[in-house]
Amino acid sequence: MATSELNSETTDKRRSRRIDRADHVRADPDAIAALMGDRAVLLRMDGIDPVITDDGRLVWGTLGDVDSGSELVFLGLDGDRGCFAAVPRAHEPGDARGKAWLAAGQLGREDFATFATARSLAHWHANHRYCARCGAMTVQGKGGWQRDCTDMQCRTPVFPRTDPVVIMTVEHVTDDGERRVLLGRGLNFPEGRYSALAGFIEPGETIEQAVAREVLEEAGLKVHSVRYSSSQAWPFPSQLMLACHAKTDHPSLAIDRTELADAFWVSRGDLFAAMENLPGKSFDPPPPHAIAHRLLREWLDRPTEEKF
């Protein structure tokens, strides 16, 4: 996208919206009501999947597009314009990956963040119509950033859920100094696809402990030197991916076949061939919009001699 387009007010429909979450507005029902006027915009979604233009942008409509019975979530402000998303009464849980996952790869950074927020919130609302503490109905509060139990004895509030997940490279350096990285295949991966290992952080764990546990459980390796790299929102349905690099001194794999279909050590040359889609590549790497891709690119680009 050219910078001139981004800065132009006249190309409103084509630019990606930079949305201020405007936390202070959420607790003010009058302010939210006032933002629901003619200037309000609605993120168009197909259930909880994105609707995307040919040139890879989210599509926005008006509040007149909302199906009756849908709840509205306040995404934030684009300037002084209220931005909303609709929560469908029900959506197919089966579409959790597939279309949305592919579409996510077409979106730029701002649009991906907006879509990720809307999709995670919509999924959360649709699955929290009842109070998990007492079983009574819940109602939306704070512009969609809270739900409240309607039982007057309980009244428990509940907030959108984000599940932290660790995803990591594991490096082993052979006796003759060759760096290799561990890649694995989840049980439901597409044919030929390999990626970094990953798993949910459990209560009581740090990032670094979760990395060590997951690699030990899934591949039988003891790791050290765990180093955080970067994070990514991943709305399938609502994860915070925490990407790390780790090392091991003992490369003998003991694969847990209930978790992984396969895992193997990959040389820099073989990873380069896969990442660059060269003839003779031996596997498909994770797609560019997945944080695993960035993590593997970092590992590949780091000079062999560099310590971390």
Q: Could you tell me whether strands 146-149 and 41-43 are parallel, antiparallel, or unpaired per DSSP bridges?
A: unpaired
**268 contacts 174 by C-beta, under 8 angstroms:** no
Residue written as tokens 């003839």? 279
x-or-dash pattern for its own copies, window 152-171, by CB under 8 A?
Answer: ----x-xxxxxxx-------
Angle between helices 291-301 and 268-275 (to 10 degrees): 130
How many amino acids of this chain bind its own copies (CB under 8 A)?
A: 57
Residue 129 is a binding residue for its own copies (CB under 8 A): yes
Q: Contact between 260 and its own copies (CB under 8 A)?
A: no
- What token pair was written down for 245? 């690099």
Of the candidate residues 16, 169, 195, 232, the single one contacting its own copies (CB under 8 A): 232
CB of 294 to its own copies, least distance (A): 12
Q: Using the rule CB under 8 A, which residue among 65, 202, 249, 276 binds its own copies?
A: 202
Among 31, 96, 173, 233, binds its own copies (CB under 8 A): 233
Do 192 and 282 form a contact (C-beta atoms < 8 A)? no
Q: Tell me: does residue 248 bind its own copies (CB under 8 A).
A: no
237 cis-preceded (ω within 30 degrees of 0): yes
- Report d(CA 170, CA 246) in Å as an integer: 5
User: Is residue 150 a contact residue for its own copies (CB under 8 A)?
Assistant: no
Out of 84, 124, 194, 299, name the contact with its own copies by CB under 8 A.
124
Closest to 161 in 3D by CA, of 198, 134, 132: 132
C-beta of 106 vs 162, nearer to its own copies: 162
Of 16, 169, 238, 248, the one binding its own copies by CB under 8 A: 238
Encode 96-157 in three state secondary structure. CCCHHHHHHCCCCHHHHHHHHHHHHHHHHHHCCCECCCCCCEEEEEHHHCEEEECCCCCCCE
Is there binding between residue 137 and its own copies (CB under 8 A)?
yes
- Positive/negative CA dihedral, 22, 24, 25, 31: negative
CA distance 95 to 106: 18
**Angle of CA points 13, 99, 256, to nearest 5°:** 140
CB-wise, 5 or 202, nearer to its own copies? 202
Strands 163-173 and 239-248: parallel
CB of 42 to its own copies, least distance (A): 17
134 binds its own copies (CB under 8 A): yes
Do residues 211 and 286 touch, judged by C-beta distance below 8 A?
no
Stretch that binds its own copies, among 36-44, 52-60, 99-107, 129-137 (CB under 8 A): 129-137
Question: Which residue in 146, 231, 264, 302 binds its own copies (CB under 8 A)?
Answer: 231
Quote the CA–CA distance of 88 and 263 in Å, as a whole number: 39
In this complex, which beta carbon is closest to its own copies, that of residue 174 or of residue 206? 206
The pattern of x and - marking residues 55 through 94 that bind its own copies according to CB under 8 A reads ----------------------------------------
State yes or no: residue 104 binds its own copies (CB under 8 A): no
Of the listed pieces 57-65, 127-135, 171-179, 260-268, which binds its own copies according to CB under 8 A? 127-135
Q: What does the binding site for its own copies look like in residue numbers (CB under 8 A)?
A: 21, 23-24, 113-118, 120-121, 124, 126-138, 145, 156, 158-164, 200-209, 213, 217, 228, 230-233, 235, 238, 240, 242, 256, 258
